[in-house]
Amino acid sequence: MASLFVLLELEIGSLRRQRIFRDRLNPLDAYTDVEFISRYRIRREMFLELHDKIEAFMSRSTSRSHSLSVTTQLTVTLRFLATGSFQTVVASAHGISQPSVSNCVRGVTDGLCSIAKDYIQFPTAARQMSMQHGFMEKFGFPKVLGCIDGTHIPIVAPSTNEAIYVNRKSFHSINVQAICDDIFKFIDVVVKWPGSTHDAFIWRQSGINLKIASKEIPILDGWFLGDSGYPLRPNLMTPLLSPVTPRDRRYNRAFLKTRKTIECTFGIWKSRWRSMDKTGGSLCYSPERVCKLILSSMILHNFCVVCDLQIDIENLESDMPYTETDDTEHSDNGILVLENITINYSHDIGSLIN
């Protein structure tokens, strides 16, 4: 009987998982691949690539005998952006002080903003053509150069010029304009305007609009898609507010399905980096610092898209409804282009949208 118990004990012991002791101070060793992505939103090899890219911007003089490593600073910042937690919570999780978390977030976001052009840039002519094919194959809308919209990132009331940050939904925010491509990547962003600024005004003042008008950047024949808060222009299409004919309704159905790409992009971005979402609370920093946090998270979003780090985009809600505003002025040329689309591309649009 004793020998039977010994054999049984040996058999159970052979089935037990081997205990692995990891260095808890080094998150690269402390977590499994799934746990690492869950905590920091990127894969381990992506973390190392990002580490190498920003390391040159992270070295700063300090009187401390043991300064925080770039690895620690990057993990702390990723965790902060991923959760939207208070800095004291992030500090406790990483065994450092709250002021150290603040310094980490400041240093890493400054470093990320320094390499923004590596990850957010308007596509080349070849990529524009590929993008137009992508939109057409997915949604049946021709010659789309990108989908544009604004989204509001909540902030605490600033100490100066507080009123201009109150948006139409009566909370303080930064109004962020973004254009996305057919694979949910940001190709142009404007992160600087207070919440009360209208989307149409941000578009008129944006660098991409001014550069297109002055022909500073090569652009194919086509148009961006924006909601009814934007002015109708030859290079910026909006939905028909009162569709009458079947041709008009086909245009609207294709338009709305295509333009939903920017809403999905916002949804993916905010789902991955919860500090940008209203569920993460308001960002308790100066507007200037908030803008850097926003831009950093958008850079990280594009980094994840480029590295093909998938996220479930099913059932993502629209960021905001379509609304017509009184100060939206449509140009005659824009109306002619819209009519041309409904007439000349009616068959193409109807082939995918029924």
Q: What is the DSSP letter of 196?
A: T
Give me the pLDDT at residue 67, please: 76
What spatial distance separates the first Cα and last Cα of the chain, rounded to whole Å?
Answer: 75
- Per the prediction, the chain carries an average pLDDT of 85
Query: CB 118: neighbour CB atoms within 10 A?
Result: 13
The whole-angstrom separation of Cα 100 and Cα 107 is: 10
121-273-183 Cα angle (round to 5): 45
Give me the pLDDT at residue 349, please: 52
242-247-250 Cα angle (round to 5): 80
* Better-predicted residue by pLDDT, 187 or 11: 187
β-sheet bridge partners, residue 173:
154
Min mean pLDDT across 51-60, 61-70, 156-165, 207-216 is at 61-70
- In this prediction, residue 176 has a pLDDT band, given cuts at 50, 70 and 90, of very high
252-257 long-range contacts, CB within 8 A, separation 24+: 253/353, 254/139, 254/140, 254/141, 254/349, 254/352, 254/353, 255/141, 255/225, 257/139, 257/140, 257/141, 257/353
Q: What is the mean pLDDT of residues 109-126?
A: 96
Give me the pLDDT at residue 333, please: 67
Min mean pLDDT across 23-37, 242-256, 278-292 is at 23-37
Q: At what angle do helices 44-58 and 33-40 cross, to 10 degrees?
A: 50
User: Is the per-residue pLDDT at 131 higher than 60?
Assistant: yes
User: Is the per-residue pLDDT at 99 higher than 70?
Assistant: yes
Q: What is the mean pLDDT of residues 188-194?
A: 98
Q: What is the mean pLDDT of residues 65-76?
A: 85
> Of 208, 211, 240, whose CA–CA distance to 224 is shortest?
208
The whole-angstrom separation of Cα 280 and Cα 320 is: 18
Phi/psi of residue 293, nearest 5 degrees:
-65, -45
Q: What is the DSSP letter of 166?
A: B
Give me the pLDDT at residue 29, please: 82
Tokens of 309: 């780090």
Query: CB 191: neighbour CB atoms within 10 A?
Result: 21
Distances (CA, A) of 206 to 171, 233, 334: 24, 15, 19
Q: pTM, whole model, 2 decimals?
A: 0.84
Give me the pLDDT at residue 354, please: 34
Tokens of 314: 């099913």
User: Pairing relation of β-strands 144-154 and 173-180?
Assistant: antiparallel
User: Is the per-residue pLDDT at 20 higher than 90?
Assistant: no
Tokens of 339: 């009519």
Give me the pLDDT at residue 201, please: 97
Contact in structure between 153 and 294 (CB atoms under 8 Å): yes
The whole-angstrom separation of Cα 8 and Cα 6 is: 5
> Of 158, 69, 194, 59, whose CA–CA distance to 114 is shortest?
59
**228: Cβ contacts below 8 Å, ≥ 6 apart:** 238, 239, 241, 322, 323, 324, 325, 328
User: Is the per-residue pLDDT at 344 higher than 80?
Assistant: no
CB neighbour burial string for 23-33, b if at least 16 within 10 angstroms, e if fewer: eeeebeeebee
The DSSP code sequence of 207-252 is HHHHHHHTT-S---S-EEE--TTSPPBTTEE---SS--SHHHHHHH
User: Pairing relation of β-strands 223-225 and 236-237?
Assistant: parallel
Distance from the Cα of residue 135 to its chain's centroid: 19
Q: Highest mean pLDDT range out of 15-24, 73-82, 318-327?
A: 73-82
Give me the pLDDT at residue 314, please: 46
User: Is the per-residue pLDDT at 177 higher than 50?
Assistant: yes
Give me the pLDDT at residue 134, please: 97
Q: What is the mean pLDDT of residues 172-189?
A: 98
The DSSP code sequence of 90-133 is HHHHHTS-HHHHHHHHHHHHHHHHHTHHHHS-PPPHHHHHHHHH
pLDDT, tens digit, 9 for 90 and up, residues 276-320? 998 888 999 999 999 999 999 999 999 999 999 987 544 433 333
User: Is the per-residue pLDDT at 179 higher than 70?
Assistant: yes
